């Protein structure tokens, strides 16, 4: 059974930092492209960061320079370091694992940026 379990969300003030983790089980982690997505109320789910099998990364303009994605294949875990958080970063953050034949989503973790 495949599981992607996110952790590390919470309430933080503007300008603060959080580190999200995604622990994977039931898959050969190193075979998968991993990514973080987020969905704010009333909005579509959007890509936050993606990291390939060879550690190549992609970020949208909205988070570039503030967020850093990483993966530890030995621990089957992906991370998202989020710095200088803004109220517009408030959303449910989802972990994603994908390859040509299959893909999986985590259950999400809430990040709220508010003073």
Q: What is the pLDDT of residue 18?
A: 98
- Partners of residue 4 on adjacent β-strands: 24
Tell me the three-class secondary structure of 33-97, residue by residue.
EEEEEEECCCCCCEEEEEECCCCCEECCCCCCCCEEEEEECCCCEEEEEECCCCHHHCEEEEEEE
Contact call for residues 19 and 8 (beta carbons, < 8 A) = yes
Write out pLDDT tens, residues 53-90.
999 999 999 999 999 999 999 999 999 999 999 999 99
Contact call for residues 50 and 38 (beta carbons, < 8 A) = no
pLDDT band at 25 (very low <50, low <70, confident <90, very high): very high
Write out pLDDT tens, residues 35-50.
999 999 999 999 999 9
Contact call for residues 13 and 114 (beta carbons, < 8 A) = yes
């Amino acid at each position: 059974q495949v599981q992607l379990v996110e952790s590390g969300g919470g309430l933080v003030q503007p300008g603060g930092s959080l580190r999200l983790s995604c622990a994977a089980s039931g898959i050969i982690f190193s075979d998968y492209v991993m990514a973080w997505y987020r969905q704010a109320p009333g909005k579509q789910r959007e890509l936050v960061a993606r990291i390939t099998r060879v550690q190549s990364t992609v970020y949208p303009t909205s988070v570039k320079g503030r967020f850093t994605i990483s993966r530890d294949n030995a621990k089957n875990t992906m991370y998202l370091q989020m710095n200088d958080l803004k109220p517009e970063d408030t959303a449910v953050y989802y972990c994603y694992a994908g390859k040509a034949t299959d893909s999986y989503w985590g259950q999400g973790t809430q990040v709220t940026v508010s003073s």
